[in-house]
Structure 1
């Protein structure tokens, strides 16, 4: 009997960080169940790229990767030497490597696990990620038509390859999963969670609060270099009441909602989506969070600046020095001055409170 390969391909922003954290910390339990899950690194926020580094090589001057078949063969040899009947691999970067994995379908029983998330949610989540990690400086555009997404790519892949190759899973809240995403993923392996398991509620690699989103979008324009990753890691810990918000106006939101449903239904005609009806009901019932117009509000700059000051003063100092070395536009000067004053005084000075009040009145806030 051929050994099985389960390849979790994401795609991005469908709970991969939560999945990888749990699987990585339960690799021995999985091995006892006959599933080999090679361990991988986790950063200080428990975020990981999964198994990308095992056999994918990043192409220079691009975010794309190349499949190294020699390294993958080494991994398969390692797996074959174990008593495990299944190899489980996980990385968002595997999504565009699906054709490469399927080159091994004559040697192994391959199952590609992919979660289906509505573009309505995905578009804002991916935009947030682009600000966090990819240097995005522009606001989220409001279009009449949804841009091409991972759902479109998934439709193409399923159209080309057999639907039996894919295990498509609905992604949403607990009403969609019936339990949680870990229990759902384990069901693909015909496994039940270990004794004492509780549904996973903690979010990993969650989206920025609005304050952090706009702060990071502003500082991205200054080509942060090595500071970028450090700032991102620090902002991950920022607590705020503005985590539930939308950047989409009502008419755009409704338009995206209708188009999202059409895409999910189109995919369902090609390959069955587990918990499909629950996903459709979830998307239909979803209401827009409070809309916030995108700009860096002065009071938000103060909150994030004070957080950086309290959390990592040296990071704030390096950031201020870095921005100060750049040629600033008139619109950036007041913001930079405020950060500089926060750093010098270790608190918001009285004259700056006065300036902030005047600026907020001028902006109509």
Structure 2
């Protein structure tokens, strides 16, 4: 009988770090009788894990595939392993309705302080999901993750392994060591895993939030990868004021106590104690000045000069988007129209690879500035698959 263990996250509980380690140590896992299927990852080690190992991509979503799971079980047996291990935070919201088809499966998940999770989810929404809105504190903390963990616990019972997410509670102070310990996988002396899917510092977060207002085509992912490496700003910060923090603390403690009563999980009460002892600090307003903004742009230029030029071109080409100070002026000072405009050979190449394709601007009043002529022509240029006339007009305007 093959053991099937599925790690479901949830999001923002070290999933990327766990998957990175598992992917890099498949041979060590096989020696312990564990098969962890390969999956792709980006340059920062971030991926969707084993989502496509047991889900099929459909037109607008993903569909669970029993056939893919059965094929993996056969592969596990062929490799001489006794355990199939899968991991993806995407499973968290997708597998609950499939539990009837997974009657012999064990699952593992982590429970994190809901207050920390709330702000982390906001930062992730800016980082990966195009959010342009400023952080807004809610009176009641969102508790969907805790609620769903409780529902998994009710259905799975002893087949559900739930653990506290807090660095001071991890075995050996390491999320990967803690994960392996929980699954009784006898790999010792795990080298502390590097942080994956790094959180943005304040300055990077605000620059990304501003860029989210623009259609950047395929450059948004490249921007994300560069901003994860920016370490010269404020990393310890919160947008939650002291009164709201104390209220969130009370809500978090109550909900985790309730979950612990429902499903006694390792270090649950210790997690409650740690939340109780947590102090409010590093509150800041959600804004940065021109100097901070320029430092981020210069870092992007250092890491990927062409990326900053492309970003500037797309910003120039969307004058209907309201420019928020100090971002546009800082960007335009660093990258002039002449520098942002690709040379003619690059323009032809971009058109051949269909890298342009901005939609026509909506009926929004354009922001007036001294570069208005170039911005108008750049907008026309990026809306066309290829136009010699549009390029010539933009080229002439770039020198004005």
The answer on whether the counterparts of 1:34 and 1:83 sit within 8 Å (CA) in structure 2 is yes
Contact 1:37 / 1:88 at 8 angstroms: preserved in 2? yes
1:223/1:148 CA distance change after superposition, 3 Å: farther
Deviation at 1:328, TM superposition (A): 4.2
Report the secondary structure of 2:106's partner residue. strand
> What do you get for the CA RMSD once the two structures are aligned?
2.1
Following TM superposition, by how much is the alpha carbon of 1:261 offset from its aligned partner in structure 2, in angstroms?
1.1
Q: Output the CA distance in 2 between the equivalents of 1:330 and 1:138.
A: 14
Q: Contact 2:35–2:81 at 8 Å: present in 1 too? A: yes
**Counterpart position of 1:164:** 158
Check whether the contact 2:2–2:73 (CA below 8 A) recurs between aligned residues: no
The answer (yes or no) to whether the contact 1:56–1:65 under 8 Å persists in 2 is: yes
Higher mean C-alpha displacement, 284-293 vs 2-11: 284-293
Following superposition, the deviation at residue 287 of structure 1 comes to 2.0
The 3 A distance-change label for structure 1 pair 287 and 226 is same
The alpha-carbon deviation at position 299 of structure 1 amounts to 2.2
The structure-2 alpha-carbon separation of the partners of 1:330 and 1:8, relative to structure 1 and needing over 3 Å to count, comes to: closer
In structure 1, distance between residues paired with 2:173 and 2:137: 34
> 1:11–1:115: 8 Å Cα contact kept in structure 2?
yes
Q: How does 1:209-358 map onto structure 2 within 5 Å?
A: 209-328=201-320, 331-332=323-324, 335-344=327-336
The 8 Å contact of residues 176 and 275 in structure 1, kept in 2 or not, is answered as no
Supply the distance in 2 between the matched residues of 1:334 and 1:289 (Cα, whole angstroms). 27
Task: Tell which deviates more after alignment, 144-153 or 165-174.
Answer: 144-153
Residue in structure 2 matched with residue 20 of structure 1 by the alignment:
19
**CA displacement, residues 294-337 of structure 1 (integer Å, 9 cap, x when unaligned):** 12432221111111111111101111110111124564375323
2:32 counterpart residue number: 33
Distance 1:105 1:325 in 2: 51
Q: Which residue in the other structure is 2:183 paired with?
A: 189
Kindly tell me the number of residue pairs found equivalent between the two proteins.
Answer: 338
Kindly indicate whether the alpha-carbon contact (under 8 Å) linking 1:234 and 1:308 is maintained by their aligned counterparts in 2: yes
Distance verdict in 2 for CA 1:41–1:330, change over 3 Å: closer
Does the Cα contact within 8 Å between 1:8 and 1:112 map onto a contact in 2?
yes
2:85 counterpart residue number: 88
Distance in 2, matches of 1:258 and 1:59, equals 42
Q: Which residue of structure 2 lines up, in the alignment, with residue 114 of structure 1?
A: 109
- 1:198 aligned partner: 191
Q: TM-score, normalised by structure 2?
A: 0.79
Q: Is the 8 A contact 2:169 2:267 kept in 1?
A: no
Shift of 1:33: 0.5
Distance (whole Å) between structure 2 residues aligned to residue 143 and residue 250 of structure 1: 14
Q: Distance in 1 between matches of 2:185 and 2:330?
A: 54
Deviation at 1:193, TM superposition (A): 2.6
Q: Which runs of 5+ in 1 are unaligned?
A: 346-365
4+ long deviations beyond 4 Å: 58-61, 328-331
Separation (CA, whole Å) in 2 of partners of 1:31 and 1:269: 37
Corresponding position of 2:350:
none
Retained in 2: the 8 A contact 1:115–1:170? yes
Partner residue in 2 for 1:73: 70
SS of equivalent residue, structure 2 residue 148? helix
Per-residue deviation, 1:197? 3.0
Paired with 2:269 and 2:142, the residues of 1 have a C-alpha distance of: 24
CA contact (8 A) 1:34 1:86 kept: yes
2:147, 2:177 → 1: CA distance? Answer: 27
Measured after TM superposition, the shift of residue 104 of structure 1 is: 4.2
Deviation at 1:52, TM superposition (A): 1.0
List per-residue Cα deviations over 1:18-47 (Å, max 9, x = no partner).
Answer: 101111111111100011111222211111
- Residue aligned with 1:273, SS: coil
The SS at the match of 1:302 is: helix
Distance 1:152 1:249 in 2: 26
| Runs of 5+ consecutive residues of structure 2 not aligned to the other structure | 338-400
| 8 Å CA contact retained: 1:305, 1:339 | yes
Quick check: 132-141 or 45-54, which moved more?
Answer: 45-54
Pairwise CA distance, 1:264: 0.9
